[in-house]
């Protein structure tokens, strides 16, 4: 969602690098450009001001390093200040010494609280905890039902009863104690706009259960409204962090850059879609370098570790080594990559990509076409594509809704790929740093289910 901002910084930094020395005039010019870029991205004015001033103070000060060029120094300062705006060292949750750890979600209606509650439950489960979801949104009859459905999806128990929100929250916590659940996530009611009644209700819920963590859930697509809402909730509740939702939307992203600063608490989690696993812990430093076009390799690696099935990966490496990598294996690998989310998102995390590539429209349908073609082949054909003659090609094309020349293209590309692999280069590379060894380190849990990585 920060693409346009990333492009702007890319331009600014490219110009900057072409300059040898940076005098006051050059620095002024750069700061002006940064200011415009941030404002255009919808970052709130006060945040832009404080950010630009912080950069100015350091860039014109005596903070000089011999090992960096002037341009690199400015980039480093911008990176660090942007990290600061996004919440500095970030959010760390420590579990209560006397369980349960109580978490309260607050925010406007439609912000994504109920969805985030279920995603949080899943997150805690991945960390080996036993969460209880508490449905304290009694405004809409369907709200508790929605929570129950989402809770079932992520395999978390849900508690609610048709009394009143404060009572439900209190009894939810008591229920967790009774049945030995170590995390309680309370989903509260929202309104379409801030009003006294709403604020009063969440305040009473918070007073009753004294949560260890109160998260403000906010829709990143609401722009400057998000900043106003954040301020109102900040004044009412003692917030501990922000959950930014709908980062998959095509907003300019400025609100995301403003909210943490406004409430003085870090962004703790971000939600990037409607699926339960479109949810990530937020790392200000990583996001800053992503915005500045410097990539986010750490997140990419983490996601790969989470989504990649070790068993499948190891098998592929073995088959590569043995020179037996078939279309069937290729198909399996495609499935794995797909689990990591849309390709465009993955590309955005790679460092140092030229702008054209970063912004290339990746057509996920190409991938779907390749899959369809492979699926339309018989196992024998997947194993040995040389079987595919004219009539078989016709059949595969028909079965996959493609053309014989699509089928041909895929087969040709696959042959090229196999050639590279047979040369042994890829197999050794993968064998050395790839899945095999890593899996052994983890106690050889080959085929461990998705999400089975140890808690961080």
Ligand X SMILES: Nc1nc2c(ncn2[C@@H]2O[C@H](COP(=O)(O)OP(=O)(O)O)[C@@H](O)[C@H]2O)c(=O)[nH]1
Q: Which residue has the tokens 């080996």?
A: 128
The 10 Å CB-count burial string (b at 16+, else e) for 364-390 is: eeeeebbbbbbebbeeebbeebeebee
| Contact between 256 and 220 (Cβ < 8 Å) | yes
Answer for which of 115, 126, 229, 236 binds ligand X (CB under 6 A) is 115
CB 298, min distance to ligand X, A: 21
- Contact between 112 and ligand X per CB under 6 A: yes
CB 103, min distance to ligand X, A: 15
Build a one-symbol-per-residue string for 180-209: x at contacts with ligand X by CB under 6 A, - elsewhere: ----------x-------------------
CB 211, min distance to ligand X, A: 17
Nearer to ligand X, 271 or 310 (CB): 271
For Mg ion, which residue has the nearest CB? 114
- Contact between 122 and ligand X per CB under 6 A: no
Nearer to ligand X, 100 or 112 (CB): 112
- Contact between 165 and ligand X per CB under 6 A: no
Q: If contact means CB under 5 to 8 A according to the sort of partner, which of Mg ion, ligand X, none does residue 211 touch?
A: none
Nearer to Mg ion, 113 or 122 (CB): 113
The alpha carbon dihedral of 149, 150, 152, 158 has a sign of negative
- Contact between 344 and ligand X per CB under 6 A: no
Question: Hey, which residues does 136 pair with through a beta bridge?
Answer: 188
| Contact between 248 and 2 (Cβ < 8 Å) | no
- Contact between 345 and ligand X per CB under 6 A: no
Q: If contact means CB under 5 to 8 A according to the sort of partner, which of Mg ion, ligand X, none does residue 12 touch?
A: none
- Contact between 160 and ligand X per CB under 6 A: no
CB 300, min distance to ligand X, A: 19
Answer for which of 16, 43, 111, 388 binds ligand X (CB under 6 A) is 111
Region of 280 (left: φ > 0; alpha: ψ -120 to 50; beta: rest) is beta
Alpha carbon distance 296, 350 (integer Å)? 6
Nearer to ligand X, 149 or 298 (CB): 149
Structural tokens at position 352: 């140092």
- Contact between 248 and ligand X per CB under 6 A: yes
Structural tokens at position 139: 């405004």
| Binding range to ligand X, per CB under 6 A, among 60-68, 87-95, 208-216, 271-279 | 271-279
- Contact between 107 and ligand X per CB under 6 A: yes
Nearer to Mg ion, 136 or 349 (CB): 136
Nearer to ligand X, 190 or 345 (CB): 190
Q: If contact means CB under 5 to 8 A according to the sort of partner, which of ligand X, Mg ion, none does residue 245 touch?
A: ligand X
Residue 173 CB coordination number (10 Å)? 22
CB 348, min distance to ligand X, A: 16
- Contact between 402 and Mg ion per CB under 5 A: no
Structural tokens at position 242: 């922000």
| Binding range to ligand X, per CB under 6 A, among 198-206, 254-262, 272-280, 339-347 | 272-280
- Contact between 271 and ligand X per CB under 6 A: yes
- Calculate the dihedral angle through the C-alpha atoms of 285, 44, 253, 232, rounding to the nearest 10 degrees: 90
At 280, give phi and psi (nearest 5°). Answer: -145, 150
DSSP string, 183-239: EEEEEE---SS--HHHHHHHHHHHHHH--SEEEEEEEGGGTHHHHHHHHHHHHHS--
Structural tokens at position 385: 């594509």
Nearer to ligand X, 107 or 293 (CB): 107
Alpha carbon distance 288, 86 (integer Å)? 8
What is the number of helices (H) and of strands (E) in the chain? 22, 8
At 217, give phi and psi (nearest 5°). Answer: -100, 125
Cβ-Cβ contacts under 8 Å for 266 (sequence gap 6 or more) = 86, 87, 88, 89, 90, 91, 241, 242, 260, 282, 284
CB 281, min distance to Mg ion, A: 22
Residue 339 Cα distances to 71, 150, 307, angstroms: 38, 20, 6
Build a one-symbol-per-residue string for 14-53: x at contacts with ligand X by CB under 6 A, - elsewhere: ----------------------------------------
- Contact between 114 and Mg ion per CB under 5 A: yes
Nearer to Mg ion, 90 or 112 (CB): 112
| Binding range to Mg ion, per CB under 5 A, among 17-25, 143-151, 153-161, 216-224 | 143-151
Alpha carbon distance 257, 38 (integer Å)? 9
| Binding residues with ligand X: total (CB under 6 A) | 17
Binding residues for Mg ion, per CB under 5 A?
Answer: 113-114, 143
Binding residues for ligand X, per CB under 6 A?
Answer: 107, 109-115, 190, 245-246, 248, 271-274, 278
């Amino acid at each position: 969602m920060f693409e346009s901002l990333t492009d702007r910084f890319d331009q600014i930094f490219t110009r900057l690098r072409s300059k040898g020395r940076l005098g006051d005039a050059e620095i002024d010019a750069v700061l002006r450009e940064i200011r415009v870029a941030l404002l255009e991205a919808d970052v709130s004015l006060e945040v832009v001001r404080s950010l630009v001033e912080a950069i100015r103070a350091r860039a014109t000060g005596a903070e000089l390093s011999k090992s960096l060029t002037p341009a690199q120094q400015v980039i480093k300062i911008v990176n660090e200040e942007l990290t600061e705006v996004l919440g500095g060292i970030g959010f760390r949750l420590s579990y209560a010494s006397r369980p349960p750890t109580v978490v309260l979600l607050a925010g406007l209606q439609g912000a994504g609280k109920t969805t985030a509650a279920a995603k949080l439950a899943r997150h805690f489960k991945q960390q080996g905890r036993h969460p209880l979801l508490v449905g304290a949104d009694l405004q809409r009859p369907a709200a508790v039902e929605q929570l129950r459905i989402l809770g079932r999806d992520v395999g978390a128990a849900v508690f609610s009863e048709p009394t009143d929100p404060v009572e439900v929250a209190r009894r939810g916590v008591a229920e967790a104690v009774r049945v030995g659940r170590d995390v309680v996530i309370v989903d509260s009611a929202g309104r379409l706009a801030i009003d006294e009644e709403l604020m009063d209700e969440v305040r009473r819920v918070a007073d009753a259960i004294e949560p260890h963590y109160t998260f403000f859930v906010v829709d990143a697509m609401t722009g400057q409204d998000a900043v106003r809402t954040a301020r109102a909730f900040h004044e009412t509740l003692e917030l501990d962090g922000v959950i930014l939702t709908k980062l998959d939307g095509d907003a300019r992203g400025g609100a995301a850059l403003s909210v943490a600063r406004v409430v003085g608490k870090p962004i703790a989690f971000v939600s990037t879609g409607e699926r339960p696993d479109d949810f990530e812990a937020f790392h200000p430093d990583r996001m800053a370098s992503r915005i500045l076009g410097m990539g986010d390799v750490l997140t990419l690696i983490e996601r790969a570790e989470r989504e990649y099935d070790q068993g499948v990966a190891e098998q592929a490496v073995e088959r590569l080594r043995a020179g037996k990598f078939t279309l069937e294996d290729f198909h399996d690998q495609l499935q794995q990559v797909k689990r990591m989310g849309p390709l465009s998102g993955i590309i955005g995390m790679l460092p140092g990509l030229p702008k054209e590539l970063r912004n290339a429209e990746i057509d996920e349908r190409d991938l779907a076409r390749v899959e369809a073609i492979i699926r339309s082949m018989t196992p024998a054909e997947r194993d040995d594509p040389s079987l595919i003659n004219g009539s078989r090609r016709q059949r595969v094309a028909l079965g996959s809704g493609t053309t014989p020349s699509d089928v041909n293209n895929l087969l040709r590309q696959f042959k090229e790929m196999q050639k590279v692999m047979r040369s042994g280069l890829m197999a050794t590379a993968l064998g050395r740093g790839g899945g095999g060894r890593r899996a052994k380190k983890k106690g050889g849990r080959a085929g461990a289910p998705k999400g089975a990585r140890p808690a961080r």
